[in-house]
Amino acid sequence: MMIATKAWVEAQFPLIKHQGSLVYLDSAATSQKPDQVINRISKYNRQEHANIHRGVYDLSQKATMAYDQVRQQVKYLISARRDEEIIFTKSTTESINLISYSYGTPMLSEGDEVVLSIAEHHSNILPWQQLVKSKNAVLKYLPVDIEGKIMESGIHTVITEKTKIVSVTMISNAFGTLQPIASIIKRAHEVGAVVVLDAAQSVPHKKVDVKALDADFLVFSSHKMFGPTGVGVLYGRYELLEKMIPYQTGGDMIEYVEEQTSTFAPIPQCFEAGTPNIEGVIGFGEAIRFIEQIGYDFIYEEEMRLTKYAYDQLSCLNYIQIYGPLNIEDRGPVISFNVEGVHPHDVTTILNQDHIAIRAGHHCAQLLMKRIGLSSTCRVSFAVYNTKEDINRLIESLKKVRKWLGYES
């Protein structure tokens, strides 16, 4: 691991470097890519492009080796036990759908319970709604407090002996709230349930160890951690993956095909039908190298330093309402807020005139918004390439928002 400096890291991101007027504060939606990721994808397309797992010629073998190596990189990144526990999908969303269908379908019976939380992204709600409907099962929700945190008091009452699956986010994408994952996993395992962890907002920012967590399933995406879009990860305990049925069928997931029957390839290939996003996975491998070069400690410290600075600066504006945890240590690098008297979409439109990119809306978390009594918020989210100057420009632009709409301050 290299000794990273802030200046060196900032210089690695061409979009940030070449669009000097842009302040990009939407990394929770998708992060920017460093040069080495972009260059690695270009090299594959220029010099190494071939399909994988099908050819004995050199070009195909080289592409296969590069692709398969990334599975091992992911294993080490999250401290999984074996390469086969890593399945590549196209997104966190597809990973959850795969678990819901492939594990939930054979394992869930009428009257069984699936438990989510009110703080979930829609991608961690809709697949389970469809599953329980098809199985005549029951969907329940862990309650959250005003900061969007799952309430410890609800964990033991909502998760019962009938619970078979618990699926929760580690960090809220809407408010940045860190959830009590250890307590949830402990309770779920006490009643024999498995836990699915949505780590889309966690793995990009700090080390996640699936063995230390005692995690059953964990899902996340490349594009939120400096990698390409179209690549997701599903980690699952091998003994659980063995109980799952194929999610899709077709090429590259079979052993033998007869006229009336077929046999499937072993794990993980049986869950990866068709030609995958080869260049995306290889680019993702380079994104992992970038994270390892600068280190999770550097990433976390820089991002939380920026989050605290932004929180403090926003708090000084008496017309700003901030949502989520008051304690910075209880949140990730995300801040949701509203400007008094101004709709969030108007805020983002005005900020865009100053080349400041933030997100506005319900952030695919309508249940959480309803719990807090909101329809939408403004959201800023930070990555290691952001600076205090970015935040200063945000604050100065927010000061102008109300004036644009006729307010005195």
Q: What's the Cα-to-Cα distance from 65 to each of 70, 207, 271, 377, rounded to whole Å? A: 9, 26, 19, 45
| Contact status, residue 321 vs residue 338, Cβ threshold 8 Å | yes
> Which positions of the chain have pLDDT values less than 70?
1-2, 408-409
Cα atoms in the Cβ-side hemisphere of radius 13 Å centred on 315: 13
Q: Is the bond into 266 cis (omega within 30 degrees of 0)? A: no
Q: Please classify residue 145 by burial: count the beta carbons closer than 10 Å to its beta carbon, then call 0-12 exposed, 13-18 middle and 19+ buried.
A: middle
Structure tokens at 86: 């890593």
Q: Would you state the pLDDT for residue 409?
A: 62
| Contact status, residue 255 vs residue 264, Cβ threshold 8 Å | yes
- Which residues have CB under 8 Å from 347's CB, separation 6+? 338, 339, 358, 360, 378, 398, 401
Is 378 annotated as catalytic? no
Q: Would you state the pLDDT for residue 354?
A: 95
- Which residues have CB under 8 Å from 35's CB, separation 6+? 12, 13, 14
Q: Please classify residue 286 by burial: count the beta carbons closer than 10 Å to its beta carbon, then call 0-12 exposed, 13-18 middle and 19+ buried.
A: buried
- Residue 26 DSSP label: B
Dihedrals phi, psi of 113, to nearest 5 degrees: -115, 140
Three-state SS at 137: coil
CB neighbourhood size of 118 (10 A): 21
Spatial distance between the Cα atoms of 72 and 212, rounded to a whole number of angstroms: 19
* DSSP strand pairing (163-169 vs 194-198): parallel
One of 270, 316, 364, 378 is an active-site residue; which one?
364
Spatial distance between the Cα atoms of 318 and 24, rounded to a whole number of angstroms: 24
| Contact status, residue 198 vs residue 170, Cβ threshold 8 Å | yes
Q: Give me the torsion for CA of 46, 48, 53, 57, rounded to 10°.
A: 120
Spatial distance between the Cα atoms of 171 and 148, rounded to a whole number of angstroms: 10
How many helices (H) and strands (E) the chain has is answered by 16, 15
- Residue in the structure block whose two tokens are 């865009």: 352
